[in-house]
C-alpha cells in the first residue's frame, strides 16, 4: 500500500513546490523560507568576520540612504554593510542583508546607479532565487548537508552552499545566478528603484559603465550563465517605458531620495 502511495506523495510534494515569481515565472521552491533566511544570516555573519568592513562615513551613509529608500518599497528591516573590497560588486542575501563593495561605490557616478545595483540584488532575494537554487540542489543531491555547510564557508561544501545563495564567487568559485535569474532581477530591480524615486534610465548607464570596466574580459554570452552586457542593456531598454511610469508616479508622490 505504501509503495503505491509513495509516488503520489512525492508528486504532491513537488506540485506544492511550484510557485510563481514576481514576474510570473514558474519556480520550484521547496525549502522553508525560514531555513533559507538562516543560511543567509549565517553567511553574512561569516563575511563580516572575514572581510574588512569599511569605516568610510561617506560610503556608509550613501549605501544606507539608497538601501533604505529601496527596501522601503519591499518592507522589512534590512542590514547594509560596506566591505573594503576593490572589486565592483554588491550582493543581497536571504534574511534581509545587503553588502556593497567599496569598488562598486568608486565605480558608480551617482546615487541612481547604485540604486540600480542594490535594486537588482534585492530583486534576487524577493524572487527567492536562493531558495530556488537550494531547492533544486536538495532535490538532486545531498541538499541537507549543503545547507548545514554554510557555517563552514572555507570548506568545499561550504563554498557550494554560498554559491547557491549567489555569493560563491567571493570565495574563489564560479556559481553565478542563471541567465533567467539575472534577467528577472534586472526587471525587478529597475521597478524597485523607480518606485523608490530613482531614475531607472541610470540602470542602463550603469551597465554601460560595467561593460567599460570589464575591458572586454567578460566571456561571450553562450559560454557564460550571465547575460552579456549588450543583451542586458537591450532588455532593460525594452522595460524602460514601464519603469518610467513607476518613476513618474513616485515623483508625484514626493519620493525624491536625497542620497547625494
Residue 132 annotated as catalytic: no
Nearest to 121, CA basis, from 175, 220, 193:
193
The domain ranges of the chain are: 31-252
How far, in Å, CA of 237 to CA of 147, rounded? 38
Band the pLDDT of 232: cuts 50, 70, 90. confident
C-alpha cell at 155: 570548506
Q: What percent of the chain has pLDDT over 70?
A: 72
How far, in Å, CA of 127 to CA of 132, rounded? 9
Nearest to 166, CA basis, from 44, 63, 25, 28:
44
Give me the catalytic one of 73, 121, 132, 137.
121
* Count of residues making up the chain: 260
CA atoms within 13 A on the CB side of 31: 26
For residues 142-148, average pLDDT? 51
pLDDT at 154 over 70: no
Radius of gyration of the chain (CA): 19
Cβ pair 64, 80 in contact under 8 A: yes
For 202, residues 6+ apart whose C-beta sits below 8 A from its C-beta are 110, 112, 113, 115, 116
For residues 90-96, average pLDDT? 94
Nearest to 232, CA basis, from 253, 255, 211:
211
C-alpha cell at 66: 539608497
Q: Which tens digit of pLDDT belongs to each residue from 5-43?
A: 334 333 444 445 677 888 787 777 778 899 899 989 999
Residue 193's alpha-carbon distances to 51, 83, 102, 121, 189, in angstroms, are: 28, 22, 20, 11, 6
Amino acid at each position: 500500500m505504501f509503495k503505491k502511495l509513495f509516488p503520489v506523495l512525492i508528486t504532491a510534494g513537488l506540485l506544492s513546490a511550484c510557485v510563481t515569481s514576481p514576474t510570473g515565472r514558474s519556480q520550484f521552491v521547496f525549502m522553508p523560507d525560514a531555513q533559507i533566511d538562516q543560511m543567509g544570516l549565517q553567511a553574512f555573519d561569516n563575511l563580516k568576520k572575514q572581510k574588512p568592513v569599511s569605516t568610510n562615513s561617506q560610503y556608509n551613509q550613501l549605501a544606507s540612504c539608497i538601501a533604505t529608500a529601496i527596501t522601503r518599497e519591499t518592507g522589512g528591516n534590512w542590514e547594509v554593510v560596506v566591505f573594503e573590497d576593490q572589486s565592483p560588486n554588491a550582493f543581497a542575501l536571504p534574511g534581509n542583508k545587503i553588502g556593497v563593495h567599496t569598488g562598486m561605490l568608486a565605480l558608480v557616478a551617482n546615487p541612481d546607479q547604485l540604486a540600480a545595483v542594490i535594486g537588482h540584488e534585492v530583486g534576487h532575494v524577493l524572487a527567492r532565487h536562493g531558495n530556488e537554487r537550494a531547492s533544486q540542489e536538495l532535490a538532486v543531491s545531498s541538499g541537507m548537508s549543503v545547507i548545514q555547510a554554510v557555517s563552514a564557508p572555507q570548506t568545499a561544501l561550504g563554498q557550494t552552499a554560498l554559491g547557491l545563495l549567489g555569493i560563491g564567487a567571493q570565495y574563489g568559485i564560479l556559481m553565478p545566478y542563471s541567465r533567467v535569474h539575472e534577467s528577472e532581477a534586472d526587471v525587478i530591480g529597475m521597478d524597485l528603484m523607480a518606485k523608490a524615486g530613482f531614475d531607472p534610465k541610470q540602470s542602463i548607464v550603469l551597465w554601460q559603465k560595467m561593460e567599460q570596466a570589464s575591458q572586454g574580459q567578460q566571456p561571450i554570452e553562450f559560454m557564460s550563465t550571465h547575460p552579456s552586457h549588450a543583451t542586458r542593456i537591450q532588455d532593460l531598454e525594452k522595460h524602460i517605458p514601464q519603469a518610467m511610469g513607476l518613476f513618474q508616479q513616485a515623483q508625484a508622490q514626493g519620493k525624491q531620495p536625497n542620497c547625494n
